[in-house]
Structure 1
């Protein structure tokens, strides 16, 4: 099983959101949604506005992060998610974010942030 895992670090400027082993990582990038498994080819991509990152940890549990801006860096042995700002799904008030999404104009920063947070919560619901 150990050869099927890889190291993942999810960070924002103000905090380390996750650091540990994973079996799978899914992220929305500006090039489309990508899935990462152990030994994935090197990749560097920009995270999509309004997207999220979902990490399947080595024990099978999922961790979702609403990430606004930043980059995904994949090497042969590890993955780094470098977000401009990020929030864990379990810290998000889904009702408040749905209200914010409806109140915001499509394409604005507020709209994209709410959409990102809703996606993160729904990814682990």
Structure 2
């Protein structure tokens, strides 16, 4: 099997760098599975999980990516995001606190209120962190 060099970059620096067999992301238009030698594309990303599958496909790295863009060339994949966290780096207590704060804010705001969209995004990001941290690596992906 062949691989493609993949980087996940935020303003704070590189979150991930390595050669993988497949990158699975959720773009604004839907799920993408990108293999080596994929046609070049640039696509905006959702706040969602990124799965990085290695050659043996039993090893998968999980990264919580908070939107951004993916740029694919035949030789490399780059994900640019405001924030991204490897599964192992997620602070579950901090994510739970952020989720509770966002839910509290949303309960006091109307959909048209100032701050509603920001609270909604905070909730989505914290839920992504928690779901990523909860992934059981011992269960192979289907």
Q: Under a length normalisation based on structure 2, what TM-score does the superposition of the two structures give?
A: 0.73
1:72/1:66 CA distance change after superposition, 3 Å:
same
Q: How many residues align?
A: 122
Partner of 2:49: 52
Matched residue, 2:114:
none
Who is 2:15 aligned against? Answer: 17
2:82 is the counterpart of 1:70: no
Could you list the structure 1 runs, at least 4 aligned residues long, displaced by more than 3 angstroms after superposition.
93-103, 122-125
**Which segment is superposed worse, 95-104 or 70-79?**
95-104
Contact 1:54 / 1:120 at 8 angstroms: preserved in 2?
Answer: no
**Distance in 2, Cα, partners of 1:112 & 1:30:** 15
Structure 1: give runs of 5+ residues left out of the alignment: none
Larger Rg belongs to: 2
Pairing of 1:1-125 with structure 2 (within 5 A): 1=1, 4-48=2-46, 50-58=47-55, 60=57, 61-94=59-92, 97-98=95-96, 100-101=98-99, 104-105=102-103, 108-123=120-135, 125=137
| Higher percent of residues as strand | 1
1:99: Cα distance to partner?
5.9
Higher relative contact order (CA 8 A, sep 6+): 1
Q: TM-score, normalised by structure 1?
A: 0.82
